[in-house]
A and B are shown apart, each in its own frame.
Chain A
Amino acid sequence: MIRIENLAKRAGGTQILRDVSFEVVSQSVLGIIGASGSGKTTLLRCLNGLERIDAGSILLEDVRLEASIPGSDYHQRVRMLRRKVGTVFQHLHLFPHLTVLGNIIEAPVHVLRVPRREAEAEGLELLESVGLKQAAQRFPESLSGGEQQRVAIARALAMHPNLLLFDEPTSALDPKRSAELRSLLRDFVKRGHTMVVVSHSIGFLIGLADYLLYMEGGQAIEYGETDTVLNSPKDPRTADFVRQVE
């Protein structure tokens, strides 16, 4: 169970997020849509603690992060939250000085203290599940953009997150690769993963997202099942946006 309540975020005098509340159903995909500057990426960065929240709360299983928690306790909670949340960034941020396998086992070995051998065996399994087992000893820069993205996914999965976040996963992919990524992610959902995907591409989210959240001006305008939000939105702003994008 993941529940976000009354979330707010200010930066430099502007209100970037205001009163955002929604839920993510376990073993489902929530797609977040909205125009540039609507606050969807900031929302994602709040979910893994990269941005400090100014009001509201985030509840993920047994970890509850509240804006009112003071300094060091807040950081403590953020670290607990991050252990349960995996992130695949838009620009991936793979570690260029480590091999593909090194990228994947780095956190399990040094954060979770998994024995190296065990971590490597599991890392290779993960690479196999994203179709990159043969690239284990290569360095990330020798891979294509799509391959690098799958390394980033494997890296996030290696920490066994309860929630997986994606920021604009299709921004560097052609339609064919986008379709492949969608079916790969769908496989992971079938295996029990829960995801939040921020994307400007509604086409990508159709067939992937079970639920959609439409953001505008830092507010959650509409939340519902994908079909409902796209075909019979309650709010005229959602209807405008969907019409424009299509």
Chain B
Amino acid sequence: MGKLLSVLCVVLTNLVIIISTGTTTSGQQVLRWGADPSGGAPYVYADPANPDRYIGFEKEMVDALAAAMGRKPEFVPTDWESIVSTLQRGSFDIVVNGLEPTTDRAQLILFSKPYYVFEQQLTVRKDEDRIHSIADCRSLRLLVGTLGNTAASRYMQKEGIPFRGYPDPVAAYRDLELKRIDGVLMDVPMELYYARSNPDLKPASAPFLRGTYNVGLRKGDEALKVQIDEAIDKIIRDGTLESILRKWNLWNDAQAELQTPIRAGQKNDTISYDLTSVSFNWRQAFGRLARAAVVTVLIAFGSMFIAVVLGLPLAVGQSKGPRSIQGLCTIYVEFFRGTPVLVQLLFLYFGLPAIHLAMPGWLTALVGLGLNYAAYESQIYRAALEAIPRGQWEAAYSLGMSPLLAFRRIILPQSFRIALPPMTNDFVSLFKDTSVAYVISVWELATAYRELANATGRFLTLGIVVSAFYMIMSLPLARLARRLERKMRDRQPAEVSTAEVPA
């Protein structure tokens, strides 16, 4: 036991050393690099043949860079859209993930010299005949998908082209196939890997809008930047980078333009491409947040309506129906209460199209949350219905009422008063739960916050503004609920006087 403890101590101490100094036990310095491997081909992604291993052209390039620097590479998987913020908070030392040196990013972090020249490719469906260039999307107001927080998304925002940001390219191309959007604008490497071989899709035009990928570093890491720049020069000069790019089928004339001067020994750092960058302005941000708030309200009210209406037959079926109906209702309730709403939404959004039921994102969120909350509402109703004394039913029957009439006129109004407080509570909670719709790229408030903040790094100020938006919407709701409850309580008897006492 004591031996085990001491071994544990050694392991822990080593761990602390590694974490705090970034050094391996062998003394070699570690180069921690961050990238998003989900939908990350051909940059860095899990090897389909061996999912424990990461592969990709950037993975091979970082290995070469680290070797040139005498360091040991260590890959830190992360999320693409917040990658700059994650670098800033110190989760890794450098970003190597097809990161474009836009001017807004350059205010936040350092960039190395470029290692790759990319272009944008617009992809449309095979049978598409309206779109021949990105300009057509603007004039026809057709929605274009892209990766969130990229040069492409900045370009479309600046040009006023309606677009939707996705967390990974797979979802974007899938929505294009499902006709939820009409085009996808993506860097050529991703288009090459995810769309080129798809028989249902085609390129709309030749690639356009050049830009570069550079390594991102924290401000203040100037010494590391010099090392990285030298290492990039080295793997360009000795042909390592070219052979990696050729292997991944990414070599083209633009790469030659980038590499030739360096190989010739010229100190030419001046190659730069004009990348679109968005300047943040509060007016525009408010506009986008307000639009997102409308979507949030729509989803919240729509799904509450479904929940309130669907909850009633569920409750009645579960407590009064024949055995088979009771069973079905119980299965429904337990399924929707027992699985995460996040999983349910992903299933509805990506799973249902397999049986030709492709709904737009906002409708998916509305229906999904509605179905989910119906399970909860039904339990509130059931408790409320069962709280009504049996004598109320018997009194109604004795007056000649049918079961349906007794339920509608006598039982339901009384149950409603009991159910109202927990229902309003659920509604406020549903209101906030609309934020899970971000997983299916619905532009509601939480998504808006994430995208705006990721693009600008203003997590704090935007966070306060978004919270204010939520509060402005939910506070009147809570007040309305309280007023309704008070109004009912004033008329609601204490149940003592007529409560059933066992004889």
A interface list, Cβ under 8 A from B: 41, 48-50, 79, 82-83, 85-87, 89-97, 106-107, 110-112, 139-141, 145, 148, 155-156, 159, 168
Q: Do A159 and B400 touch (CB < 8 A)?
A: yes
Q: From residue 406 to 451 of chain B, which have CB atoms closer than 8 A to chain A?
A: 409-410, 413-414, 417
Q: Do B498 and A148 touch (CB < 8 A)?
A: yes
Cβ of A83: which chain B residues have Cβ within 8 Å of it? 400
Interface residue tally for chain B (C-beta within 8 Å): 28
- Interface assignment of B206: CB less than 8 Å from any CB of chain A: no
- A95 CB contact (under 8 Å) in B397, B410, B491: B410
| Chain A residue, CB-CB nearest to B395 | A93
Q: Do A93 and B391 touch (CB < 8 A)?
A: yes
Q: Do B394 and A96 touch (CB < 8 A)?
A: no
- Interface assignment of B265: CB less than 8 Å from any CB of chain A: no
- B398 CB contact (under 8 Å) in A82, A91, A95, A106: A82
Q: From residue 467 to 503 of chain B, which have CB atoms closer than 8 A to chain A?
A: 491-495, 497-501, 503
- With A91-B500, A97-B417 known as contacts, the answer to whether A155 contacts B399 (CB < 8 A) is yes
- B394 CB contact (under 8 Å) in A50, A85, A140, A141: A50
| Chain A residue, CB-CB nearest to B499 | A91
Q: Do A92 and B400 touch (CB < 8 A)?
A: no
Q: Which of B401, B414, B498 has the most CB of A within 10 A?
A: B498
- With A83-B400, A97-B414 known as contacts, the answer to whether A148 contacts B409 (CB < 8 A) is no
Q: Do A111 and B394 touch (CB < 8 A)?
A: no
In the bound assembly, the distance between CA atoms of A155 and B397 in angstroms comes to 13
- With A50-B394, A96-B414, A159-B400 known as contacts, the answer to whether A110 contacts B409 (CB < 8 A) is yes
Q: Do B495 and A96 touch (CB < 8 A)?
A: yes
- With A95-B410, A110-B401, A159-B400 known as contacts, the answer to whether A141 contacts B494 (CB < 8 A) is yes
Q: Do A50 and B405 touch (CB < 8 A)?
A: no
Q: Do A94 and B498 touch (CB < 8 A)?
A: yes
| Chain B residue, CB-CB nearest to A167 | B503
Q: Do A145 and B493 touch (CB < 8 A)?
A: no
Q: Do A110 and B391 touch (CB < 8 A)?
A: no
In the bound assembly, the distance between CA atoms of A56 and B498 in angstroms comes to 34
Cβ of B405: which chain A residues have Cβ within 8 Å of it? 110-111
In the bound assembly, the distance between CA atoms of A89 and B397 in angstroms comes to 12
Q: Do B497 and A48 touch (CB < 8 A)?
A: no
Cβ of A95: which chain B residues have Cβ within 8 Å of it? 392, 395, 410, 414
Q: Do B398 and A145 touch (CB < 8 A)?
A: no
Nearest 3 CB-CB pairs, A to B? A141-B493, A93-B395, A107-B399
- Interface assignment of B402: CB less than 8 Å from any CB of chain A: yes
In the bound assembly, the distance between CA atoms of A91 and B389 in angstroms comes to 11
Cβ of A156: which chain B residues have Cβ within 8 Å of it? 398-399
The 10 sampled A-B contact pairs (Cβ below 8 Å) are A79-B402, A83-B400, A94-B498, A106-B399, A106-B409, A140-B498, A141-B493, A156-B398, A156-B399, A159-B399
Would you give the shortest CB distance from A89 to chain B, in whole angstroms? Answer: 6
| Chain B residue, CB-CB nearest to A86 | B398
Cβ of A139: which chain B residues have Cβ within 8 Å of it? 491, 493
In the bound assembly, the distance between CA atoms of A107 and B493 in angstroms comes to 21
Cβ of B501: which chain A residues have Cβ within 8 Å of it? 91
Q: Do A107 and B401 touch (CB < 8 A)?
A: yes
Cβ of B399: which chain A residues have Cβ within 8 Å of it? 82, 86, 106-107, 111, 155-156, 159
- With A85-B398, A111-B401 known as contacts, the answer to whether A93 contacts B493 (CB < 8 A) is no
Q: Do A82 and B400 touch (CB < 8 A)?
A: yes
Q: Do B409 and A141 touch (CB < 8 A)?
A: no
Contacts A48-B398, A92-B395, A97-B417 known; 15 new A-B pairs at CB < 8 A: A50-B397, A79-B402, A89-B391, A89-B395, A91-B501, A93-B389, A93-B395, A93-B498, A95-B392, A96-B414, A96-B493, A107-B399, A111-B399, A139-B491, A141-B497
Would you give the shortest CB distance from B420 to chain A, in whole angstroms? Answer: 13
Q: Do B413 and A91 touch (CB < 8 A)?
A: no
In the bound assembly, the distance between CA atoms of A9 and B114 in angstroms comes to 94
